[in-house]
């Protein structure tokens, strides 16, 4: 592949060259001036997700979203439109929101990635997650991961956002069930909780009490999944 033109075709990529063009809106780190050409075959890379390093091997064309979901098994990140129009695949890359369906996995190698699975600490929901539950800011839940991460990025930058700032922050996150007004309320509740401590009231959720026991059809109960997970992941944690 050494005579491939610079840049990337559908199946090859000069690693590090085109990050800015693809991850629109992301803060771009300096690109390697002389990139290494990889592909079209799978090539190894390390993804640093939620503080753990995952070594995987994927073709250059594999998106970060697909790598997270299909290779590492972090399926909290959803793919809805596959072209950056809906925000469902939103993750944080070096603490800024990106559409993981628009970024190639190899471009995210070595950078700090935060997915929805990385928000709760030691099983305790963040104030924002608790507020989503309390305000019923989710229905089917398929947009929720991206919605929560967009709101987290907002609150990290703007701890007491106005209603318009919240609207704008999630303007790129589509929800088909119609939870937007509840999301606004959740962000406002979380913003209040951050400064004033946990608010008590009729909506407050004791999350431990409401933790759902695994149901008969949850995958954790399926022995095939439990036993086969390691093989299925194609990934090793370093």
- Residue 210 contacts other proteins per CB under 8 A: yes
Tell the smallest beta-carbon distance from residue 139 to other proteins (Å): 4
Q: Tell me, by CB under 8 A, how many residues bind other proteins.
A: 80
CB nearer to other proteins: pick between 69 and 106: 69
Taking the complex as a whole, the smallest distance from the CB of residue 10 to other proteins amounts, in Å, to 11
Nearer to other proteins, 6 or 224 (CB): 224
51 binds other proteins (CB under 8 A): no
* DSSP per-residue letters across the chain: -TTSPSS--SS-EETTSSHHHHSTTSPPPPPPSSPPEE-SS-EEEEEEETTEEEEEEE-TT-BHHHIIIIII--TTS--SSSSSSS-TTEEEETTEEEETTSSBGGGGTTSEEE-GGGSSBTTBPPHHHHHHHHTT--SS-TTHHHHHHHHHHHHHH-SS--HHHHHHHTTT---SS--HHHHHHHHHHHHHHHHH-PPPSTT---HHHHPPPPPTTSGGG-HHHHHHHHHHH--EE-
Residue from the set 27, 29, 55, 83 that interacts with other proteins by CB under 8 A:
83
Which of 7, 160, 181, 236 is close enough to bind other proteins by CB under 8 A?
A: 181
CB distance 16 to 8 below 8 Å: no
Q: Please identify, among the stretches 17-25, 152-160, 189-197, 202-210, the one whose residues bind other proteins according to the rule CB under 8 A.
A: 202-210
CB of 37 to other proteins, least distance (A): 19
Which residue stretch of 106-114, 152-160, 192-200, 212-220 sits at the interface with other proteins (rule: CB under 8 A)? 212-220
The verdict on 180 binding other proteins (CB under 8 A) reads yes
Rank residues 153 and 174 by Cβ distance to other proteins and give the closer one: 174
- Ordered DSSP codes for 158-176: -SS--HHHHHHHTTT---S
Q: Does 85 bind other proteins (CB under 8 A)?
A: yes
Q: Rule CB under 8 A: is residue 117 a binding residue for other proteins?
A: yes
| The binder of other proteins chosen from 74, 190, 191, 235 (CB under 8 A) | 74
Least distance from C-beta 116 to other proteins, angstroms? 4
- 87-106 positions binding other proteins, by CB under 8 A: 88
Burial category of 237 from C-beta neighbours within 10 Å (exposed 0-12, middle 13-18, buried 19 and up): exposed
| CA–CA gap between residue 36 and residue 42 (Å, rounded) | 14
x-or-dash string of contact with other proteins, 155-174, rule CB under 8 A: -----------xxx-xxxxx
Q: Mark the segment that binds other proteins (CB under 8 A) among 1-9, 21-29, 31-39, 61-69.
A: 61-69
């Amino acid at each position: 592949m050494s005579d491939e033109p610079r840049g990337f075709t559908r199946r090859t990529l000069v690693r590090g060259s085109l990050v800015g063009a693809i991850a629109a809106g992301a803060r771009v780190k300096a690109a390697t001036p002389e990139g290494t050409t990889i592909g079209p075959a799978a090539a190894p890379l390390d993804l640093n997700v939620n503080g753990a390093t995952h070594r995987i091997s994927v073709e250059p064309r594999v998106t970060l979203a697909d790598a997270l979901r299909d290779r590492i098994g972090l399926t909290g990140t959803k793919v809805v439109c596959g072209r950056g129009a809906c925000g469902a695949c939103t993750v944080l890359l070096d603490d800024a929101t990106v559409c993981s369906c628009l970024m190639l996995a190899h471009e995210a190698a070595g950078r700090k990635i935060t997915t929805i699975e990385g928000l709760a600490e030691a099983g305790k929901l963040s104030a924002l997650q608790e507020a989503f539950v309390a305000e019923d800011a989710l229905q089917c839940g398929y947009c929720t991961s991206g919605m929560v991460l967009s709101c987290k990025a907002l609150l990290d930058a703007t701890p007491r956002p106005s209603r318009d700032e919240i609207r704008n922050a999630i303007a790129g996150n589509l929800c088909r069930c119609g939870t937007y007004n509840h999301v606004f309320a959740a962000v406002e509740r979380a913003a209040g909780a951050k400064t004033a401590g946990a608010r008590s009231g009729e909506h407050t959720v004791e999350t431990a009490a409401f933790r759902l026991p695994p149901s008969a059809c949850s995958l954790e109960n399926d022995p095939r999944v439990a036993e086969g997970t390691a093989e299925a992941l194609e990934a090793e944690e370093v």
